Chain A
Amino acid sequence: MNILVLVKQVPDTSDVKFDERGVMIREGVQSILNVFDQFAVEEALRLKQKYGGEVSVMTLAPEQAKTAVQKCLALGADKAYHISDRAFGGSDTLATSYALSLAIKKAGNFDLIMAGNQATDGDTGHIGPQVAEWLGIPHVSYVEQVVSIDNGKALVKSILEDGYRMVEVELPALLACLPPTNFEYTNPSMSGIIKAKSKPYIWWKADDIDGDKSKFGLNGSPTRVLKMYPPPKRSRGTVFTENYQDAVKKIVEALMEKKVIE
């Protein structure tokens, strides 16, 4: 089993702040490995344990994202591909998925490509399905578990709003993964962190991957951000601390006035 996991470093959204013009205040904001991706890495490593083979990780990001990639190696991944070039600046999801698909083709033959279902920063959920489309392989989203791999097929559990599906997909395939609610993330061990330093870490520039360069970066991105702004704030409303009976009455009255209950 040769598995590749696509990963991304993201700012920790629980402490991200923006100024009034919609510019991110970077100071004091930690960069972390996207939690959806970490789950995908851990699921891939579980498969490796069961079926053997190798787990590689890949990111398309500025150099500083190495910390997140290194964490994947420390968790047990065998090899890393880091594609970094100014040419990729301003990429939207179409341009990013295109460049990733080229890098994947160059990196070799993988039985399984895994990725987080979405990243907590952009939250588009586009990359997995779009990489699969560029590569012409099937994919399944919202994958909570890879149940088994047998006879060139993976059996996976994919979550729906009101339940789940058991899906069998032919390999090679891409799985966009969603951590189950009670998932406990592993912290890399000391020995894992030390071992990670001597694992193969491959850097590629735009010139290292074959493809249509006009589809890279901002030029290859159909979408443009017109502007960013802070969301309209919800303000603190009326809070009652006593006379519950009376408070309930007043609230129900107000809800009827607003026609949210009939």
Chain B
Amino acid sequence: MSDEYKGILVVGEIYDGKIRPVTFQLVTKARELADTLNTNLSVVLLGHNIGEMAKEPIYYGADKVYIMDDKIFEPYVAEVYSRALSKFINNLKPEIVLIPATHTGREYGPRIAAALQTGMTADCTDLVIKNGRFVQVRPAYGGNIMGEIITPNHRPQISTVRPNVFKTKEPDKNRTGEIIQVKPEFDSIKIRTLIKEIVKTTVTGAKKLDEAKIIVSGGRGVGSKEGFEKLKELADLLGGAVGASRVAVDLGWMPKSAQVGQSGITVQPDLYIACGISGTIQHIVGMKDSKVIVAINKDPNAPIFNIADYGIVGDLHEIIPMFIEEIKRIKKK
């Protein structure tokens, strides 16, 4: 019965007129899985006036890109996306479906699994093939435990994956693939959700936290809204973004969109520099999978030092300028 399900499908996301980087991260990982399983890899994109963008997933390893181009998909609405995707997936019959664990993906994704009555595993931190079986690894209980989840008898097997969990490879612009237009099908076209307004709270020009490779993050120790200027200077110098602990957001020093942690954004950058952040469990859950962690804190007993690769016990107002100078010095060379 499940034999008729073949191939891997990545659900791509278009956001602010561009394909979200997490899409390419999933395509890169899915290519590896597809090669191991000796199967094909497709991507589906929903949007309006998608145009040339459709080629991009191919550069990262997709064999086919399905395009559902219709004004109904702009702006994004969960019930429309979940209905269109459920129908599409039911027709395509892939064995594995990967969905970005963005706020939008976590909104429409679970509906698809319910509509298709199959298993879904949220926020996977790794996906592996073990003895021919698709194993989904995910944290639970605030990151205190890892679980390996399988979907033995139902197809497709659906996983969501947060941004930056997987890394992209260099795109290969000579890679070729097929682009296929699909007409969206709906069981019913009554739409009961209406987007009245979309408001961006990130500072214009600021890097998106979940897409940044380097994050300079500040907490109570930063001391003021102005104090974040120095962090921003360091972040800019490194080509990174500025994050914040919940306290810094509560105190109004940084917008909510900068909040790292359980009730904010989970990040997994190459480098996380925690400045004046003590490291509550809620914060650590949101950043502990960063490749390298640097912590600067006055308190030698701050829990953040227990997970940091490098730490300096001292005043960040003295130390951050030193980092800025040192990076500038090296850049000159």
Interface segment, A45-53, A70-78, A106-114, A135-143?
A: A135-143
**Bitwise interface map of B from 291 to 328 toward A, beta carbon under 8 Å scored 1, else 0:** 11110000010000111111111100011001100110
Beta-carbon contacts under 8 Å, A8-41 to B: 11, 13-14, 16-18, 22, 24
Chain B residues in 8 Å Cβ range of A120: 141-142, 262
Q: How far is the CB of B161 from chain A (nearest CB, A)?
A: 13
Q: Is the interface of A mostly helix, strand, loop or mixed?
A: mixed
Select one of A142, A165, A260 contacting B270, CB under 8 A. A260
Select one of B146, B195, B201, B312 contacting A167, CB under 8 A. B195
Does A169 count as interface, using CB distance less than 8 angstroms?
yes
Does B45 count as interface, using CB distance less than 8 angstroms?
no
Select one of A122, A164, A239, A247 contacting B305, CB under 8 A. A239
The reply to whether B323 and A252 contact each other, CB–CB distance below 8 Å, is yes
Q: How far is the CB of B18 from chain A (nearest CB, A)?
A: 13
Chain B residues in 8 Å Cβ range of A161: 102-103, 208-210, 257, 265
Does A191 count as interface, using CB distance less than 8 angstroms?
no
Does A155 count as interface, using CB distance less than 8 angstroms?
yes
Q: How far is the CB of B167 from chain A (nearest CB, A)?
A: 12
Select one of A13, A134, A139, A180 contacting B141, CB under 8 A. A13
A165/B197 contact (C-beta < 8 A), A14-B142, A129-B108, A239-B313 known: yes
Bound form: Cα–Cα A170–B50 in Å: 29
**Bitwise interface map of B from 177 to 218 toward A, beta carbon under 8 Å scored 1, else 0:** 000000000000000111111111110000011100110000
The reply to whether B119 and A222 contact each other, CB–CB distance below 8 Å, is yes
- The range of chain A's interface size is 35 or more
The reply to whether A133 and B300 contact each other, CB–CB distance below 8 Å, is no
Does B1 count as interface, using CB distance less than 8 angstroms?
no
Chain A residues in 8 Å Cβ range of B114: 94, 97-98, 129-130, 133-134
The reply to whether B327 and A181 contact each other, CB–CB distance below 8 Å, is no
- The range of chain B's interface size is 35 or more
Bound form: Cα–Cα A203–B264 in Å: 36
**Bitwise interface map of A from 225 to 242 toward B, beta carbon under 8 Å scored 1, else 0:** 111111100101111110
The reply to whether A244 and B314 contact each other, CB–CB distance below 8 Å, is yes
Q: How far is the CB of A115 from chain B (nearest CB, A)?
A: 12
Select one of A97, A121, A167, A240 contacting B311, CB under 8 A. A240
The reply to whether B193 and A138 contact each other, CB–CB distance below 8 Å, is yes
Q: How far is the CB of A112 from chain B (nearest CB, A)?
A: 13
A24/B145 contact (C-beta < 8 A), A121-B140, A164-B199, A167-B193 known: yes
Does A190 count as interface, using CB distance less than 8 angstroms?
no
Q: How far is the CB of A83 from chain B (nearest CB, A)?
A: 18
Q: Is the interface of B mostly helix, strand, loop or mixed?
A: mixed
Bound form: Cα–Cα A237–B75 in Å: 46
The reply to whether A13 and B142 contact each other, CB–CB distance below 8 Å, is yes
Q: How far is the CB of B249 from chain A (nearest CB, A)?
A: 5
The reply to whether A222 and B153 contact each other, CB–CB distance below 8 Å, is yes
**Bitwise interface map of A from 60 to 98 toward B, beta carbon under 8 Å scored 1, else 0:** 000000000000000000000000000000001110011
Q: How far is the CB of B103 from chain A (nearest CB, A)?
A: 5
Does B148 count as interface, using CB distance less than 8 angstroms?
yes
The reply to whether A261 and B198 contact each other, CB–CB distance below 8 Å, is no
Q: How far is the CB of B207 from chain A (nearest CB, A)?
A: 10
Does B29 count as interface, using CB distance less than 8 angstroms?
no
The reply to whether B78 and A163 contact each other, CB–CB distance below 8 Å, is no
The reply to whether A125 and B200 contact each other, CB–CB distance below 8 Å, is no
The reply to whether B142 and A130 contact each other, CB–CB distance below 8 Å, is no
Chain A residues in 8 Å Cβ range of B193: 138, 140, 167-170
The reply to whether B145 and A18 contact each other, CB–CB distance below 8 Å, is yes
Q: Which residue on chain A has the smallest CB distance to residue B294?
A: A251
Q: Which residue on chain B has the smallest CB distance to residue A15?
A: B281
A130/B202 contact (C-beta < 8 A), A169-B193, A234-B288 known: no
Select one of A139, A231, A237 contacting B139, CB under 8 A. A231
The reply to whether B257 and A126 contact each other, CB–CB distance below 8 Å, is no
Q: How far is the CB of B260 from chain A (nearest CB, A)?
A: 12
Bound form: Cα–Cα A178–B261 in Å: 13
The reply to whether B120 and A223 contact each other, CB–CB distance below 8 Å, is yes
The reply to whether B110 and A238 contact each other, CB–CB distance below 8 Å, is no
The reply to whether B148 and A226 contact each other, CB–CB distance below 8 Å, is yes
Q: How far is the CB of A162 from chain B (nearest CB, A)?
A: 4
The reply to whether B322 and A228 contact each other, CB–CB distance below 8 Å, is no
Select one of A176, A222, A248 contacting B319, CB under 8 A. A248
The reply to whether B294 and A236 contact each other, CB–CB distance below 8 Å, is no
Q: How far is the CB of B187 from chain A (nearest CB, A)?
A: 10
Bound form: Cα–Cα A27–B329 in Å: 54
A163/B145 contact (C-beta < 8 A), A121-B140, A133-B82, A223-B120 known: no
Beta-carbon contacts under 8 Å, B121-164 to A: 121-123, 135, 139-154
Does B232 count as interface, using CB distance less than 8 angstroms?
no
Does A187 count as interface, using CB distance less than 8 angstroms?
no
Select one of B107, B250, B312, B322 contacting A141, CB under 8 A. B107
The reply to whether A166 and B103 contact each other, CB–CB distance below 8 Å, is no
**Bitwise interface map of A from 212 to 230 toward B, beta carbon under 8 Å scored 1, else 0:** 0000000001111111111
Given contacts A11-B141, A224-B151, 9 further A-B contacts (CB under 8 A): A125-B110, A129-B114, A223-B151, A226-B135, A226-B149, A226-B150, A234-B288, A239-B311, A261-B214
